[in-house]
Structure 1
Amino acid sequence: MKQFNIYFDIETIPAQSYDIKNYIQNSLTAPASYKKPESISAWIEENKEQAYRKTALNGGFGQVVCIGYAINDGDVRVIYFDDWASSEKQILQSFFNDLIECYRPSADITPHFIGHNIENFDLRFIYQRAIVLSVKPPSFLPLNSKSYNNMYIFDTMTEWAGKRNYVSLNEVCLSLGIPPKGDEIDGSKVWDFVKEGKLKQVADYCTGDVEKVRAIYKRITFQNIT
């Protein structure tokens, strides 16, 4: 059976909804060891920004700011728009439309979605955002738990480290002698770059991740070895 490989990666930012921002801030509770009102207030003030930034990891609250993907050995395409605050729905729709255009469901060709930590993060995040924004995904995109199997998903993190173990993309690259990502930007800095209008740098970072995932996949599956 032939495979149709889709290497992909997403970049996300924290919640943009005022209601969600307000909810996160009001939900913060200082540790029980904090007794004085002024100490509690100070703790909340110190931790509210970090709590807010963590919504970038929550598909119900955060937002997709770009999606990078490559089909088989093709060039990487990154979908993003300068008006990032209002373009998430368009990003998802463009990604879904591209997949539909590139792949026709067939018993002879299986779509293979490949990425790093996509089973626990990227696919779940896309699934939740698609629901929130009412954007219908392609039927062959494995977005729910029933679809999570090796026929459709190749998660480079799981394949390298095993189930429920974490390893960064950079660490796998270092192990395999693949040039690691640069120091200027990482996932924790994406929001800062977006706020500063540096969408192109974020897109380039996403492109690099897709290229590295493809290189890792080929090493793990022993391709091009004679």
Structure 2
Amino acid sequence: MLANLLLLDIETVPAEADYHSLNAEWQSLWFEKISKTVPENMAPEDSYQMKAGILAEFGKIICISTAFFYENEQKAICLKMKSVYGDDERTLLQDFVKLCDKMYAHQKQFQFGGHNIREFDIPFICRRLLINRLPLPEYLQLQDKRPWDVKMFDTLTWWKFGDYKNYISLHLLANVLGIPTSKTDMDGSMVQDVYYKEKNLQRIVDYCQRDVVVTANVILRFKNLPLLDAANVVIVT
């Protein structure tokens, strides 16, 4: 089972640094999109700052970190990670698809694994592929599939155990399960400021990779297997 997984996590930001960078038409489209889901007295520039990065129509992907499990010579469980990142989203997505194609060529039954990827990461990637006029590879053509035919190892779905009201963050789930957390020098709410104000993409990549390691350990905990030794996490540059 573990050998079939391609773990991933994405980091997203608003496509423009702020609401006022949008032209009049896109400002109108933003208001139309968001008007029913934010308080009436919230200014559009504030709602854009808060929500644009998590909406595929108004956001963009700046990092996708991926990883897969393998066993070393001592039969210990290891994790190999690779991230694609940059300001050019189209190139980033093309590199991600090439990486997935290699996995697909090797293992047709591979599954994506991650936290809340069914509701966020995978749909976001698919939408941004189309927006960038890139073809959807076969393993991401999910639009007509029934939910139970879409095979993913989503740790959020696992933790629900059929309770569809339940939501838990990766940070809380890690703490509940006694797993070292990824929230050290930053958290998800800081990503767009680190990107647009600090212009420190590498800091975001490091954070994204730590999230993938946490997710990998959650999966191992679900499987009642030992957590990863830090020495057995390999990052490919």
Same fold judged by TM-score > 0.5?
A: yes
Contact map agreement 1:105 1:140 (CA 8 A) in 2: no
- Secondary structure at the counterpart of residue 174 of structure 1: helix
**2:119 aligned with 1:120:** yes
How do 1:62-81 and structure 2 match up within 5 A?
A: 62-73=59-70, 74-81=79-86
Alignment counterpart, residue 211 of structure 2, candidates 175, 190, 209: 209
Contact map agreement 1:25 1:48 (CA 8 A) in 2: no
Q: TM-score, normalised by structure 1?
A: 0.80
Residue number in structure 1 paired with 2:201: 199
Report the AA paired with residue 66 of structure 1: C
Residue number in structure 1 paired with 2:157: 158
For 2:66 and 2:56, how far apart are their aligned partners in 1?
19
Report the AA paired with residue 179 of structure 2: I
CA deviations on 1:148-185 (whole Å, 9 max, x unpaired) are: 43762011011113434210001110011111123431
Q: Shift of the alpha carbon at 1:29?
A: 6.2
**2:155 aligned with 1:186:** no
Residue number in structure 2 paired with 1:61: 58
Contact map agreement 1:116 1:213 (CA 8 A) in 2: yes
Contact map agreement 2:171 2:183 (CA 8 A) in 1: no
Of all paired residues, the percent bearing the same amino acid is 29
Q: TM-score, normalised by structure 2?
A: 0.77
**2:171 aligned with 1:170:** yes
How do 1:10-21 and structure 2 match up within 5 A?
A: 10-16=10-16, 18-19=22-23
Contact map agreement 1:10 1:64 (CA 8 A) in 2: yes
Contact map agreement 2:130 2:136 (CA 8 A) in 1: no
Q: Shift of the alpha carbon at 1:193?
A: 0.4
What is the aligned residue count? 208
For 1:169 and 1:143, how far apart are their aligned partners in 2?
24
- How well do the aligned residues superpose, as a CA RMSD in angstroms? 2.9
For 2:93 and 2:142, how far apart are their aligned partners in 1?
13
Q: Shift of the alpha carbon at 1:221?
A: 2.2
Contact map agreement 2:3 2:68 (CA 8 A) in 1: no
For 1:71 and 1:177, how far apart are their aligned partners in 2?
22
Q: Shift of the alpha carbon at 1:15?
A: 2.9
Report the AA paired with residue 194 of structure 2: F
Residue number in structure 2 paired with 1:40: none
For 1:24 and 1:209, how far apart are their aligned partners in 2?
33
5+ residue gaps, structure 1, are 35-42
- Secondary structure at the counterpart of residue 173 of structure 2: helix
For 2:134 and 2:97, how far apart are their aligned partners in 1?
9
- Secondary structure at the counterpart of residue 95 of structure 1: helix
Report the AA paired with residue 180 of structure 1: T
Q: Shift of the alpha carbon at 1:105?
A: 6.4
CA deviations on 1:49-103 (whole Å, 9 max, x unpaired) are: 233430111112210111000022442111112xx1xx00111110000111233
Query: Over alpha carbons, which structure has the higher Rg?
Result: 1
For 1:175 and 1:50, how far apart are their aligned partners in 2?
32
**2:101 aligned with 1:96:** no
